[in-house]
């Protein structure tokens, strides 16, 4: 696995080892969003082997493949925050494009040297995003796997490029690849720069809850545990070279999300003064090129592989808010000085 100390990656490692004894080799660079504390429950567990390293380091990747001989690569590692990509796109090109290229080449060499059942069983699963498809008009049909790519941010453009590389390595070299494009994930261990954890953390700290523009941007929301289950199923039975869209069937505006989170906090951890958390909402200038709507049509994965999300948004968001309320020490430790400085720089002029 790459990026297994990040939000989705760490949840996948924990989910995988909860259901099987098959070991995981976890390669993560441990940038600001990579956090080994996410995996603290696995300390001393021989099934989890962690290596700190860069997916752009070809020699490292090839050495790990030779040493551990994995039956699959699940590629989570990515720079993933749109706002950060606007401020500094270079790192997104390096990690998401060059890093994926490096992994694909190392995987191709490794796979080419396998024989028999090992060669037949090998898979390269690339985890991507619905943002590669661009923005949907109100009322337009949700994204299907055949929707044209129209990325609008440096982040989504870099992920679109990586998707194309994965497809090309399958068609040119025969590398046995699988790709999944997911909608907005939420759940435990989510770094507090994204909407839901930012709202929870800021609300509890008495800080403003920043909402871009009019707050009417629409996203489909997927509980991270459901995403993990979908990846397991795709690895198990997905058709080689295919793309599967993974969504939660939960289209909601950002403003609706903030109101729901505030209502849960009012119920579970009311303010001492009795004032609703929604009073902390603040509308700020919209981000450049902000996509208006994403929506995932997840019928293909249900039809072919029998996967549907188990969580409704109501059940998933309650679990998420409760997790943050129960883990204040985790929140405090991930909010480093560098993170606070970045938030101040990003929102100060809005």
* Catalytic residue IDs: 130-131, 155
How many C-beta neighbours within 10 Å does residue 202 have? 18
d(CA 5, CA 36): 6
CB atoms < 10 A from the CB of 180, how many?
Answer: 24
Strand order in the sheet with 251-253: 184-186, 218-223, 251-253
Measured between alpha carbons, how far is residue 69 from residues 17, 112, 119, 155, 177 in Å?
18, 13, 11, 31, 17
Write down the H helix ranges in the chain. Answer: 7-19, 58-68, 82-87, 89-92, 99-112, 116-121, 154-173, 195-204, 224-237, 254-268, 299-305, 313-326, 328-334, 337-348
CA distances from 3 to 50, 73, 97, 304, 331 (A): 11, 11, 15, 28, 20
Radius of gyration of the chain (CA): 20
Tokens for 224? 């991270």
The DSSP string of 179-234 is: EEEE-EEESTT--TTSHHHHHHHHHHTT--EEEETTS--EEEEEEHHHHHHHHHHH
Distance CA 176, CA 6 (A): 25
Structure tokens at 251: 């289209």
Q: Can you tell me the distance from the alpha carbon of 94 to that of 55, in angstroms, rounded to the nearest whole number?
A: 10
Crossing angle (nearest 10°) for helices 254-268 and 195-204: 40
């Amino acid at each position: 696995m790459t990026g297994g100390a990040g939000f989705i990656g760490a949840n996948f490692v924990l989910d995988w080892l909860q259901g099987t004894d098959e070991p995981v080799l976890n390669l993560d660079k441990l940038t600001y969003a990579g956090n080994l504390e996410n995996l603290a429950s696995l300390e001393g567990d021989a099934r989890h082997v962690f290596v700190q390293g860069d997916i752009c380091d070809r020699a490292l990747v090839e050495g790990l493949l030779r040493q551990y001989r994995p039956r699959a690569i699940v590629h989570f590692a990515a720079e993933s925050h749109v706002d950060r990509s606007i401020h500094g796109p270079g790192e997104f090109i390096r990690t998401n494009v060059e890093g994926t290229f490096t992994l694909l080449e190392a995987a191709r060499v490794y796979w080419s040297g396998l024989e028999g059942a090992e060669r037949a069983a090998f898979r390269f699963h690339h985890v991507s995003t619905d943002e590669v498809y661009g923005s949907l008009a109100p009322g337009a049909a949700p994204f299907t796997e055949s929707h044209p790519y129209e990325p609008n941010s440096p982040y989504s453009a870099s992920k679109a490029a990586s998707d194309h590389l994965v497809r090309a390595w399958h068609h040119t070299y025969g590398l046995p690849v699988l790709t999944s494009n997911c909608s907005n994930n939420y759940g435990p261990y989510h770094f507090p720069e994204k909407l839901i954890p930012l709202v929870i953390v800021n609300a509890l700290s008495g800080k403003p809850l920043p909402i871009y523009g009019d707050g009417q941007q629409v996203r489909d929301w997927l509980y991270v545990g459901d995403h993990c289950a979908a990846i397991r199923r795709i690895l198990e039975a997905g058709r080689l070279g295919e793309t599967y869209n993974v969504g939660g069937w939960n289209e909601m505006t950002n403003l609706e999300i903030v109101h729901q989170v505030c209502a849960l906090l009012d119920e579970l951890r009311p303010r001492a003064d009795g004032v609703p958390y929604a009073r902390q909402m603040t509308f700020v200038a919209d981000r450049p090129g902000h996509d208006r709507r994403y929506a995932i049509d997840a019928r293909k994965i249900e039809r072919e592989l029998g996967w549907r999300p188990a969580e409704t948004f109501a059940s998933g968001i309650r679990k998420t808010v409760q997790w943050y309320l129960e883990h204040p020490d985790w929140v405090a430790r991930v909010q480093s000085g560098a993170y606070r400085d970045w938030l101040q720089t990003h929102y100060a002029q809005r």
